[in-house]
């Protein structure tokens, strides 16, 4: 049993050294479809967004470390049946159905660390920091209420890149991230915008 473990570890070490020689990307660009799940603002809306996209660039400063930039877009919306709503001081009320929207546009810098575990698979962890522009809209009857705000953004993430073969210049990028942005909206009852995101995209490297 001991010999088997030693042989297995030796094989992993050998493959790891061989694998290190296979990944020599200097630059990577990716475009992805992003699925967003609302976090703390579920009292405003709770419906999953399928209308997200992300573009990003990564430059490798070391074989296992990259820095770069990103730009996201996401659109959340949800329909609410007719109900009675009052303003904050309870002096006015309206009965109507309603559409609620949140638009987000985060952008900033990113950094990623990569693990060598396979010739065509490369897992990574990362952190994105930047800012987020957001709009919150209410459409009711013929009226529109709109709020625009900015916030600081922090987004830890993890994922992997899968290539069809070790020499390929393109691959599939899969990722998951948690987004925290300090966009406040006291009228709608939240002081930040948070979401969990799934990323499915195509990566090009050279």
CATH, residue 59:
2.40.160.20
Structural domain of 35 = 2-205
pLDDT score at 24: 72
pTM score: 0.81
**Pairing label, strands 193-205, 121-140:** unpaired
pLDDT digits (tens, 9 = 90+) for 35-74: 999 988 777 889 999 999 999 999 999 989 999 999 999 9
**If you average pLDDT over residues 118-127, what whole number do you get?**
92
Residue recorded with tokens 């042989």: 7
How many domains, in total, are found in the chain? Answer: 1
């Amino acid at each position: 049993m001991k010999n088997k473990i030693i042989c297995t570890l030796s094989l992993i070490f050998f493959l790891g050294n061989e694998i290190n020689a296979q990944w020599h990307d200097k630059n990577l660009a990716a475009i992805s479809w992003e699925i967003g799940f609302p976090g703390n603002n579920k009292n405003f809306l709770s419906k999953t967004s399928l209308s997200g996209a992300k573009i990003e660039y990564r430059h490798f400063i070391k074989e296992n470390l990259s820095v770069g930039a990103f730009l996201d877009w996401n659109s959340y919306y949800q329909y609410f049946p007719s109900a009675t709503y009052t303003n904050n001081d309870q002096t006015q009320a309206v009965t109507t159905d309603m559409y609620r929207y949140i638009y987000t546009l985060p952008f900033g810098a990113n950094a990623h660390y990569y693990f060598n575990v396979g010739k065509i698979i490369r897992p990574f962890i990362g952190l994105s920091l930047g800012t987020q522009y957001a709009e919150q809209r209410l459409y009711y009857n013929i009226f529109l209420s709109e709020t625009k705000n900015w916030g600081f953004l922090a987004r830890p993430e993890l994922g992997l890149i899968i290539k069809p073969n070790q020499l390929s210049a393109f691959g599939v990028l899969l990722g998951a991230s948690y987004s925290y942005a300090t966009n406040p909206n006291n009228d709608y009852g939240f002081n930040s915008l948070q979401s969990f995101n799934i990323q499915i995209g195509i990566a090009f490297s050279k």
